[in-house]
Amino acid sequence: MPELPEVETIARGLAARVTGDVIESVWVGGKPEPLKSPAREIVRTLTGARITGVRRVGKHIVFDLRRRPSVVGRRPSRRNAEEHAQWIVHLGMTGNLVVCAPGAELAKHTHAIARLGSGREIRFVDPRRFGRLAVHRDFRAPGSEPLDLGVEIFSKLFRRRKTPIKSALLNQKLLSGVGNIYADEALFRAAIRPRRRAASLTRNHLQRLYEALQQVLNEAIAAGGSSVSDYVDAAGAEGLFQFEHRVYQRTGEPCLVCRTPIKRVVLAGRSAHYCPKCQA
């Protein structure tokens, strides 16, 4: 599942390719699962809209749109004002957004196509159909943005939480966009065991965890994300951060610091990978 760095990479790639372009028409497929807003509402909002930017909010990709309002039912003074709208894409497990030429072969599991004024198309492809398409006006992620918050606010999120710190890091209502890979990697760098209760962490631990998480997310963004399973960015390129993983999916392999075999435990149905010697 793409996490914050992968979604950031995809959003940046899309921003560079389609900002300024106009969506001329939209096709939405017949499968109901990917549609969080009704198909006709997606088509109505996107058709004729200009893409003013593409950015990441949590694990969501947000296309900012400007469109001329429909004249019907509007007061004359509002007639020429452009309205703001947003196209929100959550990639789920296997979703991707590809920018391609109209003649490009249609991939199986294509659920939506936005045809652009430049002649290109943005296609939403998702074999497992956990991805979601929606339209909004003022979209906000439920949790805090990990790269925007300071250490004080970060620390407050975990106060009095009895859950393991790993589960707290994955809780999207607390932090937006951190998933299994980057939670494991940040905990390793901070020398904290995934199972440790969040509330038991000292100020010093939280400072270390905060710095480790910032570091690991920023390094992963710089590397274009991690390509595990089938992640590729908007141009079809793979990320490189999987080669920097120190514990994630390295069960049984030697710790890069102390040579102790990396362990795997299951916490709330998710695997956690850690070094039993380096992490306490």
Which residues are catalytically annotated? 2-3, 59, 270
Distance CA(235)–CA(225), nearest Å, equals: 13
- Residue 178: Cβ within 10 Å count: 25
Residue 257 C-beta: closest distance to Zn ion, Å:
4
Q: Which is nearer to Zn ion, 50 or 277 (CB)?
A: 277
Pair 37, 118: CB distance under 8 Å: no
Task: Please state the separation of Cα 25 from the chain's center in Å.
Answer: 26
Q: Which is nearer to Zn ion, 166 or 246 (CB)?
A: 246
Residue type, position 96, single letter: N
* Residue-by-residue DSSP string for 113-145: EEEETTS-EEEEE-SS---EEEEESS---SSB-
Binding site for Zn ion (CB under 5 A): 255, 257-258, 260, 275, 277-278
Q: Which is nearer to Zn ion, 101 or 280 (CB)?
A: 280
Residue 258 C-beta: closest distance to Zn ion, Å:
3
Distance CA(269)–CA(114), nearest Å, equals: 37
Please report which helix (H) or strand (E) contains residue 221, including its range.
Answer: helix 203-222
Q: Which is nearer to Zn ion, 157 or 255 (CB)?
A: 255
